[in-house]
Each structure stands twice: as structure tokens, then as C-alpha cells.
Amino acid sequence: MLASQFALAVEAEYLSFGSFSGNHVYTVTNAGVVSGVNVYQETDTVSYSQEVDVTATNLNIKPKYYFGGNNFYLGAIAGVGVYKVDFKLDDGSDWGFNYGVEAGYEITPELTFSAGYRMFTTSIDVKDTDQDFELELDSFYAGLDYKF
């Protein structure tokens, strides 16, 4: 029966993506105005280094399809969560999404080996600026899952 080959799992997860550092480049324009007339305009490009720590708490759904009468499956992952970014001097958080594909083998009813690919995306407002921190992370992974 085909229906017995499908399963739907729900999972809650906490992820720490670690620390990242990089350079941010933006343009600053300084204009001089004398008696309402723009007499000069100076444009500078400013670059600064920023280190961030990124964490997420997600709620995911995982539909799975089991092949034949064995314990191999192919599945998808889709979820929503809160992504938190800690900057050196500030922090921010906002809703984000994740999605991916996964293949696995159930060793026992409680223990499963899985491997897959995931993409995480969010846009976080940075305090005291008019810019958003755009975050897109992707990852290949492999691991053991334990069901309680």
C-alpha cells in the first residue's frame, strides 16, 4: 500500500551557526551647501570589518517517502524560525525560513542516520541604521537522529 510508505515528522531544533567575519562596504556622501546652492559633493567608500554570531530556533515539517519494504527514505524539510544575529556592538533577530532535502536509513525505530542539504534565509533590521542584514546560509550535513 502506497500510504504506508509516506510519513510526516515535525521537529523543533536549535542551531548555532558559529561566528563569521567579513567586510562591509558602503558609500557616504558629504555635500556642502552655501546659501542654498550645492557648491561641492564628496563621496567616500568606507569599509569596516564586522564579526557576527548566528543562532536559530526552528520548527520544521519533514515529509518522508520510504522505498519498498526497507528502511531507506528520501524526504524534504521546510520550516520557519527565529534567527538571532549578535554583532560586536549590537544584535538583532527576525523570522526566517529554511528548506532542503534529506536521505536516510532507520537503523532502529529510535536511531536514524541522515544526510542532506539545507538552505537558511532571513533579513534582520540593524538598529540605528536604514540597512538590513541579509543572511543566506547553506550546508551539507550528515548525522545521527535519536527519537525519544
Q: Which residue has the higher pLDDT, 62 or 89?
A: 62
Domain map (residue ranges) of the chain: 2-21+52-146
Nearest Cα residue to 127 out of 82, 87, 81: 87
Phi, psi of 5 (to 5 degrees): -90, -10
Residue 141's pLDDT is: 92
Q: Which residue has the higher pLDDT, 94 or 114?
A: 114
What are the pLDDT digits (tens) for 50-80? Answer: 677 889 999 999 999 999 778 999 999 999 9
Residue 130's pLDDT is: 63
- pTM of the prediction? 0.69
Instruction: Provide, rounded to the nearest whole percent, the portion of the chain with pLDDT above 90.
Output: 42
Residue 38's pLDDT is: 46
pLDDT at 35 over 80: no
Residue 88's pLDDT is: 66
Q: Are 61 and 78 in contact (CB under 8 A)?
A: yes
